[in-house]
Structure 1
Amino acid sequence: MIIKSIIAMLMLVVSCSACAGEKVWLSPLDSSSWVFSGNKTECALSHVVEGFGVAKIIAEAGAGTRLEIISKELKNLTGNHSVDSIPASWATEKPNNIHYQSDVSFTLLTHELVFNDADEVFERLDQGEWIQVRLNGGGQKTHTVVLSNVNFEAPSKQYLSCKGNLISLNYQQVRSSEFYYPSGSTLVSKADARVLYGISEYVQGIRSIKKILIDGYSDNQGRSAVNLRMSRERAEEVAALLIEFGVSHQMIQIRSHGDRYPIADNRSADGRQKNRRVTVRLIKNSAAGMQ
């Protein structure tokens, strides 16, 4: 097996010989592995690239699949990167290669490069192909990172099972939401009810959520007492739906503000519509306390 690993690495180095200045990174096949981790909001497969860093395939609730490359070797990257499928070193048939392009972001502080919309990267590995990621360092040496599918089968099954059970929204999508109303109405629209269902799903699946703040507001049309009552009824309707969807009433705190705290000019119809609102904010525990 060690001999095969050496041969595979030599083949890859030779295949990139035309790309002067490239450095190829590939974990020895006899120690190559993929590790699964996951919960209801995120499913991940991690692969250590020996001497270089870590590659991760991550499916996140409400956000699709991404490929992350994390390495301190990544410095001064340009936007010219590529992700391709290549045949495994022992393959007898050449696959129909992908030339994957997507939105790419790089964070220097965490040495993290992210490729979005990476479902096909997982699919190619699952089909027995390898993935080659070329990272352009500008005037510096270019890196070629090779992800083999050795020991991929078992964790990939765990990943797929996890992915099938992801909830519909993530924390960034549910932490703060606003719902708007026609004049005189307290009814929650069907579209807003679907969002509230996603919020309830998240709250029930993530134990760190400790409180849900529901605040009702109105425009300034009519008497202040009526506006206060209307804002209360709107907030109560939202709370009732969350409870119906399974959220504990003990987690919910309702506050009504009437026509106080407008966020837009009440002199225009558009401004008044923005002021007729209910906000839902999740409070969770963190290492530093409540946030």
Structure 2
Amino acid sequence: MPRLTALLLLMMLTPITQAAEPLLFRAGLDNTEWLLSGSVFECRFAQTVPDYGSAVFYHRAGEDVHFQLETSRNLMDYSNARVSILPPDWQPSVKTEFLGTARIVKDTPNLTLDHERTNRFLHALMEGKWPTISHKTYYDPQRYIRVQVAAFAFDDFYQDYLQCVKQLLPVNFDQVARSKVFFAAGENAIDRKDSKILDTIIFYIQHDPRVFAVYLDGHSDNQGRRYDQRQMSKARVEDVERYFIKQGINPDMITTRFHGGRYPVASNNTAKGRAANRRVTIRLEQRDDVPIPPELLFQLPPRNDR
């Protein structure tokens, strides 16, 4: 009996602790703000998360859309956060969809989702659900943060976002800035497959005024005399240069060099390696300080005109 009394006394004196409710950051019906900006190079479809930052659907030309969380002041621990979709408040019986985890990092954006989960976020917003990032705070592992994207007015602004996506270029700078075309043994002229690659590069150059230089470098394998290797690489790079100029690229932008077999990227001891070395590389240079012309920026007419 004394032992039971002591146990009851201990329970009475021990404070009852409960897990604190997550600190919630999300916009409400009266302050949900969707912002859309872009150009032929990218679209940025963002919602302001009051007192926390921005939830961004970032769509770059030539790629699929990615969700990004950008914080004004990050409160989450720098580790894996929980990614989920919560049901709308009026459907509490609907199950939460758990989409795995994603890492919180110190750089901006602080979190990035792959395109598959990003598209599931967009689909959830169409259904009025709450895409959610949840995680413990960096200053107290017992306290949690929950950041949600609100679906209010999503349908109207989503149509605007689709208009922005429609005018994106088919490729982006990184996809064409470092390219190669290859040649069969003894050949120095581009074929139909090569011309398709070059056409894509040329198309991008013609639509991005920030590109100011094109460097073409010709290479060969190690077969034959060094002089012949050098002449072959020269003929290859000149054929690519002629194609660029014929398609309207300013010759003043182009710099050509030829190296023979001096810079192999693979072993010349195998047929596969020699094929990789018979190449012309194309490198584009872009100026970051050149503003995008207004005609390449995405603009929607006023809402009362649509």
Distance 1:208 1:19, change over 3 A: farther
Q: Partner of 2:273 in structure 1?
A: 271
Tell me, in whole angstroms, the C-alpha distance in 2 between the residues paired with 1:201 and 1:102: 39
Of 271-280 and 62-71, more deviation after overlay is shown by 271-280
1:280 deviation in Å?
0.7
2:286 corresponds in structure 1 to: 284
Q: Could you tell me which amino acid in structure 2 is paired with residue 53 of structure 1?
A: G
Partner of residue 134, structure 2: 135
Pairing 1:83-98 to 2, within 5 Å after superposition:
83-84=84-85, 86-87=87-88, 89=89
2:68 corresponds in structure 1 to 68
Structure 1 stretch 221-230 or stretch 132-141: which is displaced more?
Answer: 132-141
In structure 2, C-alpha distance between the alignment counterparts of 1:111 and 1:166, rounded to whole Å: 22
Aligned to 2:154: 152
* 1:228 aligned residue: 230
In 2, Cα distance between equivalents of 1:227 and 1:58: 46
Q: CA deviation at 1:33?
A: 0.9
Aligned residue number for residue 81 of structure 1 = 82
What residue number does 1:253 align with?
Answer: 255
- Could you state the TM-score of these two structures normalised by the residue count of structure 2? 0.75
After TM superposition, the structure 1 = structure 2 runs for residues 173-252 of structure 1, keeping only pairs within 5 Å, are: 173-188=175-190, 190-243=192-245, 247-252=249-254
Query: Shift of the alpha carbon at 1:63?
Result: 2.4
Structure index of larger Rg = 2
* Separation in structure 2 between the aligned mates of residue 108 and residue 261 of structure 1, nearest angstrom: 39
* Alignment-derived partner of residue 33 in structure 1: 33
Post-superposition shift, 1:43? 0.9
Check whether the contact 2:81–2:101 (CA below 8 A) recurs between aligned residues. no
Whole-angstrom CA distance in 2 between matches of 1:106 and 1:244: 49
Q: Contact (CA 8 Å) 1:77, 1:137: kept in 2 or not?
A: no
CA distance in 1, matches of 2:65, 2:95: 20
Question: Within 2, Cα distance between the matches of 1:180 and 1:102?
Answer: 42
- 8 Å CA contact retained: 1:77, 1:136: no
Distance 1:37 1:258, change over 3 A: same
Stretches of 4+ aligned residues off by more than 6 angstroms: 93-98
- Looking at structure 2, the residues matched to 171 and 141 of structure 1 have their Cα atoms a distance apart, in angstroms, of 42
Partners of 1:98 and 1:110 in 2: how far apart?
A: 28
Separation in structure 1 between the aligned mates of residue 19 and residue 244 of structure 2, nearest angstrom? 57
Deviation at 1:245, TM superposition (A): 5.2
Q: Distance in 1 between matches of 2:242 and 2:228?
A: 21
SS in structure 2 at match of 1:238: helix
In the other structure, the counterpart of 2:99 is 101
Range that drifts further, 113-122 or 194-203: 194-203
Q: What is the identity, as a one-letter code, of the residue corresponding to 1:76? A: D
Q: Is 1:214–1:281's contact at 8 Å kept on the other side of the alignment?
A: yes
**Residues 146-200 of structure 1, C-alpha deviation per residue, up to 9 Å, x if partnerless?**
2113343443222111212222222222221233322112344555444333322
Question: Is the contact made by 1:78 and 1:137 (CA closer than 8 Å) also made in structure 2?
Answer: no
- Is 1:172 paired with 2:170? no
What residue identity is the alignment partner of 2:107?
L
Structure 1 residues 266 and 110: CA distance shift in structure 2, 3 A: same
Residue 233 of structure 1: how far off its partner (Å): 2.6
> What is the rounded CA distance, in whole Å, between the counterparts of 1:249 and 1:185 in structure 2?
24
- The aligned residue for residue 7 of structure 1 is none
List runs of 5+ in structure 1 lacking aligned partners. 1-17
In 2, Cα distance between equivalents of 1:94 and 1:244: 64
Q: Percent identity?
A: 26
- Counterpart for residue 262 of structure 1: 264
Structure-2 separation of matches of 1:119 and 1:191: 33
Q: By how many angstroms is 1:215 displaced?
A: 0.8
TM, length-normalised to structure 1: 0.78
Deviation, 1:98, is 7.8
Count, aligned residues: 267
How far does residue 281 in structure 1 lie from its aligned partner after superposition? 0.6
Q: How does 1:39-50 map onto structure 2 within 5 Å?
A: 39-50=39-50
Q: How far apart are the structure 2 equivalents of 1:41 and 1:247?
A: 20
CA displacement 1:107-128 (0-9 Å, x = unmatched): 3133510011112322332x25
Contact 2:131 2:148 in 1 (8 A): yes
CA RMSD of aligned residues (A): 3.0
